[in-house]
Structure 1
Amino acid sequence: MTWTIPNTLTVLRLLAAPGVALMFLYFHRPWADWFALALFVSAALTDWFDGYLARLWKQESKFGAMMDPIADKAMVVIAIMVITGYNGMNPWLILPATIILFREVFVSGLREFLGAKAGLLKVTKLAKWKTTAQMVAIAVLFLGTGLDYLNVLALEGMTPEQHVAAVAAGEAEAIRTCGTRDCASYANTVGIGLLWIAALLTAITGVEYFTKSLPYLRDGK
């Protein structure tokens, strides 16, 4: 492998994947949420830059072609694991997350089984849109978890009614609002909606890859 800038960006994105989870081990919330969000967004941006630079400078390599989808999958899988844990196992979140995780494992297994024929499962444009949708959804959900924690700090064990009275008396911090709703619930709703869109694209690309590989899964092929 040659340490070109595109390859270096891909490796850094792979290393950032576990770093997202480690933020919650070494920092207190909500700082952990903000650091995880910043690291995830920064790493996600390299997904576009490494491919763009590789094509621009004609530095495409077998290493980059192999590691790029692995880094993407590692980022998505680890981030989803963290988000589902901090969202109290919300069923509206668990179902699309399960679809995404199942598809990623299934397609990885297909690639391994096909071996030298795995080239027929090249990344499609729809698969790239799928990855983009996943990363945008996860970024918004990380924002939601951070804002949720700030809401918990603002309530300080009070009921919503007690909190309103305390804010009016100048004894508590107001919860951040975005229009008529608090920002945390807005971010979580948007994030879950985007994750459902990502799950739909993920399922479609999974079926597409499975269909392409069917001729090679029959006995005697």
Structure 2
Amino acid sequence: MGLLKLWVNHQKEDSFVNQLRKKRFSLLKNQIEQLIEKKGHIKILDIGGETDYWKHLGWKNEHCTIYLLNLANAPGQAEVPGFVRVTGSALELPFEPGDVDLIFSNSVIEHVGSYDNQAQFAKEVKRVCNKYIIQTPSWWFPLEPHSLIPFFQYLPHSIRAFLIMRFNINYFPKKSTYQEALAVSHSTLMFTRSRFLQLFPEATLHTETLFGIPKSYTVVKMD
């Protein structure tokens, strides 16, 4: 498990997961550069984003302002040029149409708590901007990325809750009651390709594979 956690360490620039992210990031980078070429300076809303994500990917561009939206921002965080921290919900974005040129989100939509909330997430993205790049892990990949337990996503929520009551499972913290554990289990609902496209039917879907198995999906709409 120690070696596995090293491979998926988001804070380690050369970790396996960050190497995959860099490959995936090329799609986003190309789209950003094309927008900058057209407009000169652009604004990006990164839902659930952090500066470390962009830092580990080597992002530097003075012609771009990135708004990092999170439910809460820790006090005392250093200001980073080119980034603006915003407190708010992905289900009720504190932006109006035209405020940003592109919306980006990496592995957030599966964490908003319910299928209805996921639909609301998609609705809010499209309300604010007609250009977006939204990524989520694939339900089909054997290693569940939040628990780091193979096939954990396939277990019924009742069994997942039973395990969460007894163990700290990486992203899923241990809970003392069944109802609390059940809520934690339901807080992460992963996507198949078809269900992701149901929320973004107007977008182009890109599938990232590993060993021939879908690892993540990214929907892209740039027109």
Higher strand share: 2
Higher helix share: 1
TM-score under structure 2 normalisation?
A: 0.27
* Largest Rg, 1 or 2: 1
